[in-house]
Amino acid sequence: MRSIIDILDLSTEEINELVHTAEDIIAHPADYAEICHGKKLATLFFEPSTRTRLSFEAAMYELGGNVIGFSEANSSSAAKGESVSDTVKTVSCYADIIAMRHPKEGAPRVASMAASIPVINAGDGGHNHPTQTLADLLTIYRHRHSFSNLKLGLCGDLKFGRTVHSLLNAMSRYEGLEVVLISPDELKLPSYVKKDVLQKNNIPYVQTENLEEALPGLDIIYMTRVQRERFFNEEDYLRLKDTYILTPDKLKGTRDDLMIMHPLPRVNEISVAIDDDPRACYFEQVLNGKYMRMALIMKLLKEAGTI
């Protein structure tokens, strides 16, 4: 049974195929409105979410399917001590596909080994978030018509930010990538990601603490929230949370076609004064996430022989 736990579970050809399917859905939504008729998506969210859960649910409804699930661990039998494996074996009896978010790294992988239906990782701890990356990739593609030769700046919590880890994994497969890692010392990209993704693929990268100096010349600035829920103490969070705030004056001297991205939720990382700048892409990412999740749900259900 095919599950998507890591963005690298999809080949570059499959990512292209998903991008093209999403573009076709955008152009011809009515053609997809009944494809999942009578099928059920289970959203198992053991951690808070707005966009990811609601976009999975909207995606399944727009494919003509239905949704069951829970949005917090406390309202499931996890609160009684049930294991992830037992939960997904149970859900496999009721649904056709699962989207799971969990605070523990690797939980969706464990789930995929116990489930008899496809499992999609909707975010596991500070590890990975492959479907956010699919949203990011469609957004990049719709602006640049290519994934090659991009200078990508990643700013904020590069340590715990799972969207950053998945995006780097995905982008590392395209030619001409250059990476600028912008973070405070305490929130630097984990060395395993540097080694397994950047160094292994000979991707040129620099690390800096200075956002202003890094901005000119970037094709993309990907801002991230400091991941409060992964901190061991509140004092460290409070000290680091407002390290980087992108404001209109910091954008002076940047490229006219700079893409300003953020997986959201935003706390203070991007001033609302930037929202009307045509280079702000973060609400496009939100919408694109729904289309890519529609494309992914269809692909996995077709491969499973369910539709």
101 assigned to active site: yes
Active-site pick, 101, 162, 165, 293: 101
- 144 CB-near residues (< 8 Å, 6+ apart): 150, 219, 259
139 assigned to active site: no
Active-site pick, 39, 40, 51, 225: 51
| Among the residue ranges 12-20, 232-240, 262-270, 274-282, the one whose residues contact ligand NCD (CB under 6 A) | 262-270
Inter-residue contact 149 to 157 (CB < 8 Å): no
- Residues in region 213-232 near ligand NCD by CB under 6 A: 225
Q: Which of 181, 138, 177 is nearest to 161 (CA)?
A: 181
302 assigned to active site: no
CA dist 252 → 107, 183, 246, 248, 249 (Å): 43, 21, 11, 7, 6
2 assigned to active site: no
- Residues in region 110-129 near ligand NCD by CB under 6 A: 123, 129
39 assigned to active site: no
Which residue in this structure is represented by tokens 């890692």? 181
The nearer residue to ligand NCD, 47 or 96, going by C-beta atoms, is 47
The nearer residue to ligand NCD, 194 or 290, going by C-beta atoms, is 290
* Residue 52 in the binding site for ligand NCD (CB under 6 A): yes
Beta bridge mates, 45 = 101
Closest separation in Å from C-beta 278 to ligand NCD: 22
| Among the residue ranges 9-17, 164-172, 236-244, 259-267, the one whose residues contact ligand NCD (CB under 6 A) | 259-267
Among 162, 194, 241, 299, binds ligand NCD (CB under 6 A): 162
The site for ligand NCD (CB under 6 A) is made up of: 51-52, 123, 129, 132, 162-163, 225, 263-265
Residues with active-site annotation? 51-52, 80, 101, 129
